[in-house]
Amino acid sequence: MATAAPSASAASPQPASLQSSADPQPYASQSSAPQSSASQSYAPQALGLSASSDPSDQPYRALSRGAIVSLVLAVLAVPGLVPAFEAMLVLSLVGLITALFAFRTIRRYPNEYSGRALAIGGMALNGCLLFGGVAMHTYVYLTEVPEGYERVSFYALQTPEGQPDAPTAEALAIDGKDVFLKGYIHPASGDGELRRFVLVPDLGTCCFGGEPRSSSMIEVTLTGGQTVRSSMMKIKLAGKFVVNKYRQTSRDFDNAVFYRLQADMVN
- Residue 121 is assigned to a structural domain of this protein: yes
Of 204, 201, 185, nearest to 193 by C-alpha is: 185
Number of domains in the chain: 2
- Residue 99 is assigned to a structural domain of this protein: yes
pLDDT of residue 33: 45
Of 151, 141, 218, nearest to 186 by C-alpha is: 218
Of 71, 100, 65, 259, nearest to 171 by C-alpha is: 259
Band the pLDDT of 11: cuts 50, 70, 90: very low
Residues 168 and 256 in one domain: yes
Residues 175 and 129 in one domain: no
CB of 188 within 8 A of CB of 222? no
How many whole angstroms separate alpha carbon 121 and alpha carbon 108? Answer: 18
Of 71, 77, 81, nearest to 91 by C-alpha is: 77
Residues 139 and 156 in one domain: no
- Residue 167 is assigned to a structural domain of this protein: yes
Domain housing 170: 150-266
- Residue 37 is assigned to a structural domain of this protein: no
pLDDT of residue 56: 52
Residues 132 and 181 in one domain: no
Q: Cα 25 vs. chain centroid, distance in angstroms?
A: 78
Query: Looking at the chain, which runs of residues are DSSP E strands?
Result: 62-63, 113-114, 150-151, 178-185, 193-194, 196-200, 218-222, 228-229, 235-243, 259-266
- Residue 53 is assigned to a structural domain of this protein: no
How many whole angstroms separate alpha carbon 194 and alpha carbon 189? Answer: 8
Q: What is the mean pLDDT of residues 187-196?
A: 90
Residue 135 has pLDDT above 90, yes or no: yes
Residues 111 and 156 in one domain: no
Residue 164 has pLDDT above 80, yes or no: yes
Give the model confidence (pLDDT) of 43-93 as tens digits. Answer: 444 444 444 455 555 678 999 999 999 999 999 999 999 987 899 999 999
How many whole angstroms separate alpha carbon 28 and alpha carbon 21? Answer: 13
**pLDDT more than 70, % of the chain:** 75
Which helix (H) or strand (E) segment holds residue 170: the answer is helix 169-173
CB of 69 within 8 A of CB of 98? yes
**147-161, 194-208, 209-223: range with lowest mean pLDDT:** 194-208
Residues 240 and 134 in one domain: no
- Residue 30 is assigned to a structural domain of this protein: no
Q: Which of 83, 111, 143 corresponds to the end of one domain?
A: 143
pLDDT of residue 207: 62
Q: Which of 102, 117, 143 corresponds to the end of one domain?
A: 143
pTM listed for this prediction: 0.66
Residues 134 and 164 in one domain: no
Residues 137 and 154 in one domain: no
Residue 8 has pLDDT above 60, yes or no: no
Residues 165 and 257 in one domain: yes
Residue 175 has pLDDT above 60, yes or no: yes
CB of 229 within 8 A of CB of 210? no
- Residue 18 is assigned to a structural domain of this protein: no
- Residue 38 is assigned to a structural domain of this protein: no
Residues 83 and 115 in one domain: yes
CB of 130 within 8 A of CB of 92? yes
Q: What is the mean pLDDT of residues 183-196?
A: 90
Length of the chain: 267
CATH of the domain at 236: 2.40.50.870
How many whole angstroms separate alpha carbon 181 and alpha carbon 87? Answer: 18
Average pLDDT value over all residues in the chain:
82
Residues 183 and 252 in one domain: yes
Residues 154 and 251 in one domain: yes
Q: Cα 148 vs. chain centroid, distance in angstroms?
A: 38
Q: Which of 108, 126, 143 corresponds to the end of one domain?
A: 143
Classify strands 196-200 and 178-185 as parallel, antiparallel or unpaired.
antiparallel
Which amino acid does the sequence have at 222? L
Give the model confidence (pLDDT) of 218-240 as tens digits. Answer: 999 999 999 999 988 889 999 99
